[in-house]
Amino acid sequence: MASYVSFILRLIHFNLNFVTAFCPLLRAMGRNVAFSNMRRYKCTNKGPNLIKNWFNQPARKIRRRQTRLQKAKAIFPCPLQKLRPSVTRCSQKFNLTQRIGRGFTLKELQGVGLSAGKARQIGIAVDPRRKNKSEESIARNVARLKEYLSKVTIFSKQAKPEEIQQAIQHQGVVMPIVNPKPVITTGSIADAKKEVPENLFMYLRNARTARKRARLAKRDADREAAAKAKGGKK
């Protein structure tokens, strides 16, 4: 009986050594425990947390309108928005058109004889950080300021309330910028120039080759002239 028990124990020990030798996963686990579930969640769980609802959009619309009306009543008869400069759009795709900028530069205000404080008092936006990069932009915005000053009505401090109540408050953007639409003209194919080649690729290839051949011919001619000057070809 003792020999039988020892045989069984030796067999179990052999099987355990075999399993641990040929099964690295079991050997790495060490003991029979559950897998950790730390950081084992699906990425789709983040979706609802990243979505921002806008259920209060109709109420916000009403509140913004009420705020605008309150501000318009408080600053009457001044316009709700300020006069802003005309600046060039960014990138080569849009730099042929103009848009409304942040504020006028001090050099532009100097062109109409205004200081920054006086300009802010009469509804002109000022941006001292902006720099003028061309004389055209200065001339364009100076003309814009002159047009605004010719249209605006400035009441003095001694003005009567009856005179102020008769004023008309401007609504919307002050002097909006309107870019002219491009005019597209069409013509017949017969009006095209005859100098344009039919196969442009071969035309450019031949022109490139001709330039290279002319350069090589000039090099050979210079070498021959130098050899003749020395008294013969080497």
Q: Report phi then psi at 124, rounded to 5.
A: -115, 125
Looking at the predicted structure, is the pLDDT value of residue 27 above 70?
no
158 in a domain, yes or no?
A: yes
Q: Which of 41-45, 86-90, 186-190, 221-225 has the lowest mean pLDDT?
A: 41-45
| Between residues 145 and 3, the one the model is more confident about | 145
Q: Report phi then psi at 12, rounded to 5.
A: -65, -40
127 in a domain, yes or no?
A: yes
CA distance linking residue 82 with residue 75, whole number of Å: 12
223 in a domain, yes or no?
A: no
Average pLDDT over residues 187-191: 70
| Between residues 37 and 209, the one the model is more confident about | 209
The pLDDT assigned to 149 comes to 94
> Which run of H or E residues covers position 181?
none
**Domain span at residue 137?**
80-179
Q: Quick one: tokens of 207?
A: 């022109």
pLDDT in tens, 111-162: 999 999 999 999 999 999 999 999 999 999 999 999 999 999 888 888 888 8
100 in a domain, yes or no?
A: yes
pLDDT in tens, 35-77: 666 665 555 556 666 677 889 999 999 999 999 999 999 988 8
149 in a domain, yes or no?
A: yes
Look at the pTM and tell me if it is higher than 0.85.
no
Burial (CB count <10 Å: 0-12, 13-18, 19+), residue 116: middle
CA distance linking residue 214 with residue 219, whole number of Å: 9
The pLDDT assigned to 22 comes to 46
234 in a domain, yes or no?
A: no
CA distance linking residue 99 with residue 167, whole number of Å: 29
101 in a domain, yes or no?
A: yes
Q: How many domains does the chain have?
A: 1
Average pLDDT, the chain: 83
The pLDDT assigned to 59 comes to 97
The pLDDT assigned to 194 comes to 64
Looking at the predicted structure, is the pLDDT value of residue 192 above 60?
yes
